[in-house]
Structure 1
Amino acid sequence: MTRRRHLLAAALAAPGIVPVGAHAQGAYPNRPIRVIVPFAAGGGTDVSARIWAQRMSEILGQQLVIDNRGGSGGNLGAEQFVRTPPDGYTILLTSNGPLTVNRFLYRDMQHDPLKDMMPIGIILRIEQLLVVNPGVPAQTVQQFIELAKARPGQLNYGSGGAGSSLHLAGELFKLRAGVNLVHIPYRGGGPAMQDLVSGNIQAMFDSMPSSYPQIRANVIRPLAMCGAKRHQLLPDVPTMTESGIPDCVAGTWIAIFAPNGTPAPIVARVAEAARQAAGEPALTEALFRAGADADWSGAEDLHATMVRETAQWGDVVRQANITSN
């Protein structure tokens, strides 16, 4: 028994060996890693997660297994995640809604994303933009604002539902531009886009994957990107800031987290793998085809982004009196 203890101690002291509780038998990772995605399979976050996880599996040398845990707008999966052991073999991959908005929509939320999760980094972004039906007599954001002010309460915009990221983008625009637009919630962004194309609604704050094919078909008109910079697919479409509406930045980003208490060497290993993946053309192209833009921002930037957007969306939810479905 004494000899076995000496051998184990020597092994743990060897270079590259990271002691993690009962799993300190080799360099991390030495078995598959579970990736909790707090949304149903087949959605935008899930599709992007599977593309990303495939390349991460190759880099880390162990399979990343997607575990869909949908429910309560992403809260259910996140609450299961914060209770998992901090051994590096479970990570959370989620979009910004559950991280920065849900606390204002769900009174029974059982966790605090700013305190109960260890940020690793942002891995990709999905841009949003303001689009209108071609029948709307506005070629620019400023013309759209003038039209809305001339017809208060007569112009509407659709979204994928109350409290969705597209709804929040619209309410943020209303506050920053000082206009009165009527929100028309749908059961998903698809039906809203159908009504925009047919002219049943006038405008929509939508994601690039959904809008771009319709823009190419000339059945809707883009007015401005809601991100911090122009998008390479639509280089002639200005940002909201360029259009005279500062502090009107909205979009979807997806980030990864470890449970609190996860050893720093493990977090650093996952972060380095994610940083490497984000810079690879093959992954960038695969995500681009899915409508997402590969990105990498580390833990410090992720935390700062969460703090900033939590304040922004809390203000929007309160002023617009938004409640969850």
Structure 2
Amino acid sequence: MTTPSNTASTAHPPSIHRPWRRLAQTLLGAILAVSSVPAAHASDWPDRPIRLIVPFPTGGATDVISRLIAESAAKAMNTNIIVDNRTGAGGTIGSAEVARSKPDGYTLLFTTSSTHAIAPHLYKSLPYDADKDFTPIAHLGDAASVLLVNPSVPAQTLPELIEYTRAHPDELNYASSGNGTIVHLGTEAFLNQANIVMSHVPYRGTGQAINDMLGGSIHVLLDAIPTGMPYVNSGQLRALAVTGPQRSPLAPDLPTFQESGLPGYESVTWFGLYAPAGLPDEIRDKAYEAFTHATQDPNVRSRLQALGVDLPRSTSQEEFVSLVREDSARWQGLIQLTGIQIQ
């Protein structure tokens, strides 16, 4: 009696548990297979062309700079980088497309402070979350501006401009490249800190603004240093100061706003590389190495400097995140103070 009972008890468990054991082994194999796919893809990346979305128009400063850096980075990675201009809504349309893309390293975003430090506070709603929907990769450069005045304005220095404006309220105007642009915000930051008032005349870009400034109907403009200084050198316009934290190699005799009596003032456009959120670390690090190495290439570096782009102030991904966070907080404070908003 005892022997059959023992035989039965040892015979049933294998027949009962064998299907579950097979299922467990199958599931484990599937999990291992799935988890190995990103690692394999990351180690092979890039094995096909990369699409670099630039959310600003072809031929503009950001487009030119992105193509210059991308060309060198592509050589370093032995692949092709295709620049894709997806414009509209201050760069937010192209940025949103990247946010929705697969985080496999084949869709990247070359953008500026406009989309990630300004737009989140300027628009009532955005099709992306600047903090959560992207993987920050690299800070690739900075570009300051120069404060230009028409020669009819009797000011040779920034303090003299401030003094004249206070003595003649609402007499002077300033142009910008559009409502909510960094030219607009940078000028408003200056006016706010100096406690002066000028009338705002928005344009679609600074080209027509320069023409009107040469004609005398515009008095003040923050412009890119490479495009503004030729008019200064020809005597058609006057330059008073640069907006960066240090003097520009393109205009070494011009003081900064801080040197001119506005401590802490700074208005700099940074250029950065992003990917969709969830990008594997290995791909992020490879992209970081390739693109930052491109900015160190002597030929690329000299051409960037000719475009008014300085080497980035942050050298690591962590520093880039901190810089964007600080820049965002600064513009948020100004936007809240002035009430500037884009619908």
TM-score (norm 2): 0.85
Q: C-alpha offsets along residues 135-190 of structure 1, whole Å, 9 cap, x if unaligned?
A: 21111111111001101111111111111111111100011111111111112111
Choose the corresponding residue for 1:288, options 272, 282, 305: 305
2-structure distance, mates of 1:58, 1:285: 18
What's the % identity of the aligned pairs? Answer: 35
Kindly report which structure 2 residues correspond to 1:1-325, keeping only aligned pairs within 5 A, or say none.
21=38, 24=41, 27-295=44-312, 297-324=315-342
Worse-superposed segment, 175-184 or 106-115 = 106-115
Q: C-alpha offsets along residues 244-297 of structure 1, whole Å, 9 cap, x if unaligned?
A: 101210021110012211111111111111221111111012223334334363
Aligned-partner residue type, residue 341 of structure 2? T
More helix by share: 2
Any conservation in 1 of the 2:124–2:342 contact (CA below 8 Å)?
no
SS at match of 1:297: coil
Q: C-alpha offsets along residues 176-210 of structure 1, whole Å, 9 cap, x if unaligned?
A: 11111111111211111112222211111111122
2-structure distance, mates of 1:243, 1:180: 18
Choose 1 or 2 for highest CA Rg: 2
Alpha carbons of structure 1 residues 219 and 85: separation in structure 2 relative to 1, 3 Å = same
Kindly report the root-mean-square deviation, in angstroms, between the aligned alpha carbons of the 2 structures: 2.1
TM-score (norm 1): 0.90
Any conservation in 2 of the 1:74–1:98 contact (CA below 8 Å)?
yes
2-structure distance, mates of 1:23, 1:67: 27
Q: Please list every run of 5 or more consecutive structure 1 residues that lacks an aligned counterpart in the other structure.
A: 1-8, 13-17
Deviation at 1:234, TM superposition (A): 0.9
Q: Please list every run of 5 or more consecutive structure 2 residues that lacks an aligned counterpart in the other structure.
A: 1-28
Deviation at 1:21, TM superposition (A): 3.2
1-structure distance, mates of 2:203, 2:275: 34
Deviation at 1:100, TM superposition (A): 1.0
Alpha carbons of structure 1 residues 20 and 124: separation in structure 2 relative to 1, 3 Å = farther
Any conservation in 2 of the 1:134–1:220 contact (CA below 8 Å)?
yes
SS at match of 2:104: coil
2-structure distance, mates of 1:22, 1:314: 39
Aligned-partner residue type, residue 304 of structure 1? S
2-structure distance, mates of 1:197, 1:147: 20
Any conservation in 1 of the 2:144–2:243 contact (CA below 8 Å)?
yes
